[in-house]
Amino acid sequence: MSWKIAPAAVNNVKWAYNNSAFKYMRYVSWQYLWGGREYGLLWHDQYYEPSPEVTEALRRLNLKEPWLFDQRKIRLSRAHTLAMHNEILPKDQWTNWNDETFYLKPYLDEIEAEKTERTKSSGFVPGFLMRKEEH
């Protein structure tokens, strides 16, 4: 059984994050498709905590900027309370696009760089970078 590494274009998607079309699509999805702003949430508030990368990013956020970590917990608590009561915030309290900070991005980028460096130095290729070659 032989394994083949995925094409480089699949591995390196950093170009997409700064692409103007991608930024526009992110804004449209944030503005019109995502319901979290009705609860006063920021985009990174929805990131799934059991994910190892997100767990590590939140740990680093708590160490370096604990006030942001506390604000996140308050926003999530308020959003859960509102959802349990089947309510949303008044429209003037919804999160605006200009308020969005993407506060976990520096930590997630740092973790991704560490994973890439670890892969290069150890020679270990994670399973998500490999695919089976069909015969």
Q: What is the pTM of this model?
A: 0.68
pLDDT single digits (tens) 67-92:
888 998 999 899 999 999 999 889 89
pLDDT single digits (tens) 9-66:
444 445 555 677 877 887 887 778 777 888 888 888 888 777 788 888 888 888 898 9
Closest CA to 42 of 97, 5, 82: 97
Extract the tokens encoding 92: 């003037």
Within its chain, how far is the Cα of 43 from the centroid? 8
Cα separation, 4 vs 89, whole angstroms: 50
Cα separation, 51 vs 108, whole angstroms: 11
The count of other CB atoms within 10 Å of the CB of residue 135 is 5
